[in-house]
Amino acid sequence: MARSRLSFLNDNGPIVKYCQKCGCRIPVSSPYDKCKECMKKELFPKVKEFINENYDVNEMVLAQEFGIDRSLIHEWVREGHLEYKKNPFRGDYRDM
């Protein structure tokens, strides 16, 4: 067995995490119980809806709302070509 594979194991033995949905392996360091793909499938439509229905949404708001990482939101927004809506009633909005 390669030594390097043991380096991330601690005294409690191998820590392995599996996606609750599809059962695939997810990084132990992941704070989530689902893999990225499943999270995306599940949450992306909601995120999209949220963006469409709310003004002044940004990554931080979404991350808080859905309890996921800002970088994930960022990825989805970019991949999904989602656009944050500006609040037409506020003049001092700065482009993100």
Rounded Cα gap, residues 10 and 31, in angstroms:
18
- The nearest distance, CB 66 to Zn ion, in angstroms, is 17
State which H helix or E strand residue 18 sits in.
Answer: strand 17-18
Kindly state whether residue 38 participates in binding Zn ion, applying the rule CB under 5 A: yes
Q: Quick check: helix, strand or coil at residue 54?
A: coil
Kindly state whether residue 22 participates in binding Zn ion, applying the rule CB under 5 A: yes
Q: Which is nearer to Zn ion, 22 or 60 (CB)?
A: 22
Q: Which is nearer to Zn ion, 14 or 23 (CB)?
A: 23
Rounded Cα gap, residues 16 and 28, in angstroms:
6
Binding positions for Zn ion, rule: CB under 5 A = 19, 21-22, 35, 38
